[in-house]
Amino acid sequence: MRKYPDCTMCFHPAKVENMKSSELNGITAIHKEKPHLFSVEDVILGGGSFCASASLLFRKEVVEAFNRLTGDLILPVGDVDTQICGALNGGALFLPEIMSVYRTGVQGSWTLRISEYTIFVKHKLDLIKTNRGLDRRLEKRYHRALKLREIGEVHRLFKHLYQKDPDVVKRIMEIVRKETKGILKYRSYKAMFHSYLYHKVGFKILTPILRQFQLRRTHKFFLKLLSWRYLFR
């Protein structure tokens, strides 16, 4: 950190140790073979797993920025916003050495508590709304990165919805109805509708054919048109 006086945060990879199955062990947050300075946009687009939380080392200015920017926001978790605040001044310095262990599958751990799909959806939607509040506090300086991250999060969140039990689908739709509004509601319904098309109507079979004929853009336009008709019929 002394070599990078303008940088207020550094992080490093962590060994993943699953307490239930060694087959799930691995390494998380490994990005480069040498020290590298990542931008705020890199951290935002990488999501909460971009930096291993136990690896974070930051100057006290980060705590001050965190309190100033998130003081009256409801945070489902604090690690994502801590990483963003830490990278605001000089970026986030990545060190390639593995110097911590992230244990999963521990009884009572955060990972197990949000393993139920309905709880996970609520958590992610709350996190997206928090990031929107942070976006306003940062005067939209990183709006594009936060927007792209939100679009990707919503897509991944509902991508396999219609592989779930019908009761679960119904509960998820109720959560979306109550917890979202505006463009976030539209993106959520759009992602759920795409999941319906792929897993119930059979569009999943059609995708490789469209790719073979290089009609991917037409395919996306067709899905977008259908989703608009579905939402506003």
Same domain, 183 and 93: no
CA distance 223 to 233: 15
Same domain, 102 and 172: no
Q: What three-state secondary structure class fits 51?
A: coil
Phi, psi of 57 (to 5 degrees): -130, 125
Same domain, 109 and 120: no
Q: What three-state secondary structure class fits 155?
A: helix
Amino acid found at 53: S
Amino acid found at 170: K
Same domain, 109 and 119: no
Question: Cβ distance 34 to 27 under 8 Å?
Answer: no
Which residues, in sequence order, are CB contacts of 95 under 8 Å at separation 6+?
A: 10, 11, 12, 35
pLDDT at 71: 83
Confidence band of 233 (pLDDT split at 50, 70, 90): very low
User: 93: which strand partners?
Assistant: 10, 37
Altogether, the residues listed in the chain come to a count of: 233
Same domain, 171 and 150: yes
pLDDT at 217: 52
For the chain, how many structural domains are there in total?
A: 2
Q: Which of 80, 113, 146 is the last residue of a domain?
A: 113
Q: Which of 93, 113, 133 is the last residue of a domain?
A: 113
Structure tokens at 191: 């992602």
pLDDT at position 216 over 60: no
User: 13: which strand partners?
Assistant: none
Same domain, 104 and 131: no
Same domain, 141 and 164: yes
pLDDT in tens, 144-186: 999 999 999 999 999 999 999 999 999 999 999 999 999 999 9
User: 103: which strand partners?
Assistant: 17
Same domain, 23 and 109: yes
CA angle 72, 75, 79 (to 5 degrees): 120
> Terminal CA-to-CA distance of the chain, rounded, Å?
57
Same domain, 61 and 41: yes
CA distance 101 to 15: 5
Same domain, 160 and 105: no
Confidence band of 79 (pLDDT split at 50, 70, 90): confident
Same domain, 35 and 88: yes
Could you list the residue range(s) of the whole structural domain that residue 129 is in? 115-233
Structure tokens at 143: 């709006």
Give the DSSP H/E element, type plus range, for residue 208: helix 203-212
Same domain, 158 and 64: no
pLDDT at position 215 over 80: no
pLDDT at 201: 80
Q: Which of 113, 136, 165 is the last residue of a domain?
A: 113
